[in-house]
């Protein structure tokens, strides 16, 4: 009976040692693979901003007289609109797709300048559509037949590449976003946290309130957040709310996306046409879509705002000031638009890079991946997803998700095993398992030797 127990113990020890060897080997191997930089060939084009950056770089090199903008194609490759075959060949040599068009960016910008110089009509908006090589002039339901007729005359005088269309709803600012902030002037949303190195601020929409507005985190006015210290609207649409405590606190690099979850913000950049983007708002939650145009102009009832990002992401009243981002990169704050999240619509955003430059602040971003993109207007545009179509928010990955509080709780076992810091523990597990195997072997040999001695003594005594 005693020998049987010994055999069971030895067998269990050997099995445990072998299991330890396998576990330690897996920890080391997985950690080593996790620490390697993925090969360039294994990364889809545009997964790290290459698509938008290549297109913008080609446009800058060839000039606005020979190009008419760039965008990200459905396959994730950069597409550059060019006006001659020589420019098209240069684009193709650089690895991008070329599309020969009739009108250069200089012509398109001249058209928008003419529209700006015409008598202002509230409820109209225009932007250059790079993909169709046209200027899109829209008028909402508030524009009268007489104003529409006068705008048509201006457009006809410019040329046939100005396309006019009527839009449903009205172009309005979208008061209220990700985390609600309230004042006597209305309800808005926090966009991104920024700092000047001495104090922290909330970057939000300018139409939310003029300088001097006091903001609270609750309807009762018991939790004072801060006060607006700088505001630009119309013309631009951004403002700076200084925290009453001077500091944003824990989780300042996270924007809320609903359900108690958030996305870590790692930097800021300018977007590219065709890029897939996400917007978070307190009214309509997390929504996604594409950038459809840049440098858009909107004639709100309160005044004209220029230099905006145009998207097909829906928004509703209550979403103003909320964050626009892609893959953890801050892009803009919600300005306004038309339509809703049932019928769809157009939404405009104030670019964060321009706002931060004007305000002299920088983004509070996650230290783990912030790198040099943080707060830099010249940062490369983040990429589009390989799939550009809109999908339900629950089926998409807007960035590195994290609890809104910023805590890193509940990490999965697989994440622990693939942590590069587990190389050392993995080697220790392997060493311990080898020692256990050797010890088991030695003990067995010693027991066999003693058993043989007993047998020999009993036989020849």
Residue 218 is a catalytic residue:
no
Whether the ω angle into residue 103 lies within 30 degrees of 0, i.e. cis, is no
Per the DSSP assignment, residues forming a β-bridge with 241 are: 202, 228
Residue 320 is a catalytic residue:
yes
Residue in 438, 415, 171, 135 with CA at minimum distance from that of residue 298: 171
Distance of CA 135 to the CA centre of its chain: 27
Between CA 305 and CA 389 the distance in angstroms is 28
b/e per residue 352-362 (b: at least 16 CB within 10 A): bbbbbeebebb
Between CA 366 and CA 47 the distance in angstroms is 19
Between CA 82 and CA 62 the distance in angstroms is 9
Between CA 316 and CA 339 the distance in angstroms is 7
Tell me which DSSP letter residue 396 carries.
-
b/e per residue 289-298 (b: at least 16 CB within 10 A): bbbbbbbbbb
Q: Let me know: does 353 contact 327? Beta carbons within 8 Å.
A: no
Query: Choosing from 200, 237, 253, 312, which is the catalytic residue?
Result: 237
Query: Choosing from 140, 200, 207, 433, which is the catalytic residue?
Result: 207
Between CA 240 and CA 204 the distance in angstroms is 7
b/e per residue 157-189 (b: at least 16 CB within 10 A): ebeebbebeebeebbbbbbbbbbbbbbeebbbb
> Who's near 254: CB < 8 A, 6+ residues apart?
262, 263, 264, 265, 402, 403, 404, 405, 406
Residue 207 is a catalytic residue:
yes
Tell me which DSSP letter residue 439 carries.
H
With H, G, I as helix, E, B as strand and everything else as coil, classify residue 348: strand
Between CA 199 and CA 245 the distance in angstroms is 9
> What backbone phi and psi angles, to 5 degrees, belong to 349?
-135, 140
Tell me the two tokens of residue 219.
């309807």
Query: Choosing from 320, 326, 366, 383, which is the catalytic residue?
Result: 320
User: Given phi > 0 = left and psi -120 to 50 = alpha, else beta, which region is 328?
Assistant: left
Q: Let me know: does 111 contact 104? Beta carbons within 8 Å.
A: no
- Write the burial class of residue 307 (CB in 10 Å: 0-12 exposed, 13-18 middle, 19+ buried): middle
**Please, what is the Cα angle at 192 between 344 and 282, to 5 degrees?**
40
Active site positions, annotated: 207, 237, 320
């Amino acid at each position: 009976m005693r020998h049987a127990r010994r055999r069971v113990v030895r067998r269990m020890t050997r099995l445990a040692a072998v299991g330890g060897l396998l576990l330690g080997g897996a920890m080391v191997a997985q950690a080593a693979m996790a620490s390697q930089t993925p090969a360039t060939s294994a990364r889809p084009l545009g997964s790290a901003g290459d698509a938008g950056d290549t297109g913008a770089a080609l446009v800058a090199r060839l000039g606005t007289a020979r190009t008419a903008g760039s965008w990200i194609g459905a396959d994730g490759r950069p597409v550059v609109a060019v006006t001659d075959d020589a420019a098209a060949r240069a684009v193709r040599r650089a690895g991008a797709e070329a599309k020969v068009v009739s009108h250069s960016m200089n012509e398109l910008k001249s058209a928008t300048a003419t529209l700006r110089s015409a008598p202002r009509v509230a409820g109209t908006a225009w932007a250059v559509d790079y993909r169709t090589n046209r200027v899109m002039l829209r008028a909402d339901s508030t524009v009268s037949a007489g104003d529409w007729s006068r705008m048509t005359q201006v457009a006809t005088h410019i040329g046939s590449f100005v396309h006019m269309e009527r839009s449903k709803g009205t172009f309005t600012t979208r008061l209220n976003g990700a985390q609600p902030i309230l004042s006597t002037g209305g309800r808005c949303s926090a966009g991104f946290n920024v700092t000047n190195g001495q104090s922290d601020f909330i970057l939000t929409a300018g139409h939310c309130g003029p300088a001097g507005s006091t903001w609270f985190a609750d309807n009762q006015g018991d939790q004072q957040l801060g006060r607006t210290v700088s505001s630009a609207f119309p013309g631009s649409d951004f403002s700076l709310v200084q925290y009453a405590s001077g500091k944003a606190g824990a989780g300042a690099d996270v924007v809320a996306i609903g359900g108690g979850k958030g996305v870590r913000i790692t930097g800021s950049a300018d977007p590219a046409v065709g890029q897939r983007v996400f917007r978070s708002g307190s009214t309509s939650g997390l929504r996604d879509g594409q950038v459809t145009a840049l440098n858009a102009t909107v004639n709100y009832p309160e005044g004209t705002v220029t230099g905006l990002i145009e998207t097909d992401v829906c928004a509703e009243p209550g979403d103003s000031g909320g964050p626009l981002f892609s893959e953890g990169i801050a892009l803009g704050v919600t300005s306004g638009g038309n339509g809703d999240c049932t019928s769809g619509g157009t939404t405009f955003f104030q670019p964060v890079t321009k706002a931060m430059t004007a305000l002299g602040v920088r983004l509070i971003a996650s230290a783990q991946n912030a790198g040099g993109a943080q707060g830099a207007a010249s940062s490369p545009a983040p990429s589009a997803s390989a799939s550009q179509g809109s999908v339900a928010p629950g089926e998409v990955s807007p960035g590195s998700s994290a609890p809104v509080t910023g805590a890193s709780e509940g990490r999965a076992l697989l994440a622990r095993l693939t942590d590069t810091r587990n190389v050392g523990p993995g080697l220790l597990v392997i060493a311990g398992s080898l020692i256990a195997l050797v010890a088991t072997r030695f003990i067995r040999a010693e027991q066999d030797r003693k058993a043989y001695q007993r047998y020999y003594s009993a036989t020849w005594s």
